[in-house]
Amino acid sequence: MRAKWLWMTVLAGLAAGCGEGHAIFNVDVYSFIKGTGRDTIAYVVPAGFSDSASSIPQKVSLPGAGSSIVDSVVVNGKMNFENQSDSGTVGVKLYLAADSLGSLNGSALALTVPTVRVSGNAVTPDTILGRLSSSVLALFAGKELWIRLQAQGSADPGVLPLQGNAVLKGLRLTVVMNDKFF
């Protein structure tokens, strides 16, 4: 019961602090994924081809805001592409859904991070920055959502495959909600 009242107090403070019925929530998605093995996606792309690899869907608990309207969600994160062989491009897609199976659907695509060039045995840091697709915003009014990351690569022609790991180093979502918190 105390936890419920604590959340109500936090929500009331946020609503009052943001003015005109707006609240801003920062969700540290990385803290749910870090150390679970779901923060790393291994990729192997045959030379001259394109392919993708995916993480296992991960549940993220949210405070829930009932019938509130989600105005926007901004994504800010970091990822390292730890390439091991050959060269090409690698990018990331972020999928969000109400359940784990839904995160496997193409309609759950929430954000596409542009590809970066990788080469040889080197680490290429990248920034994840953008706004989520409006088709997934309603998920943030609930108490949980499922997240899945997908790495997509395209290998340069040659002999060796493009191979390495896409390693998530940070992922925060800033959720802006409007009205009806109680």
pTM for the model: 0.79
Query: Tens digit of pLDDT for each residue in 61-112?
Result: 877 656 678 888 999 999 999 999 999 999 999 999 999 999 999 999 999 9
In whole angstroms, give the CA distance from residue 163 to residue 121.
Answer: 9
According to the model, what pLDDT value does residue 64 have? Answer: 66
Asked if 82 contacts 101 with a C-beta cutoff of 8 angstroms, the reply is: no
According to the model, what pLDDT value does residue 25 have? Answer: 82
Asked if 27 contacts 74 with a C-beta cutoff of 8 angstroms, the reply is: no
Query: Tens digit of pLDDT for each residue in 110-145?
Result: 999 899 999 999 999 999 999 998 889 888 888 888
Mean per-residue pLDDT over the chain, rounded: 83
Asked if 177 contacts 23 with a C-beta cutoff of 8 angstroms, the reply is: yes
All structural domains of the chain, each given as residue ranges with its CATH number in brackets, are 2-178 (2.60.120)
Token pair listed for 103: 């995160």
Query: Tens digit of pLDDT for each residue in 13-30?
Result: 444 445 566 788 888 889
Token pair listed for 54: 């995916």
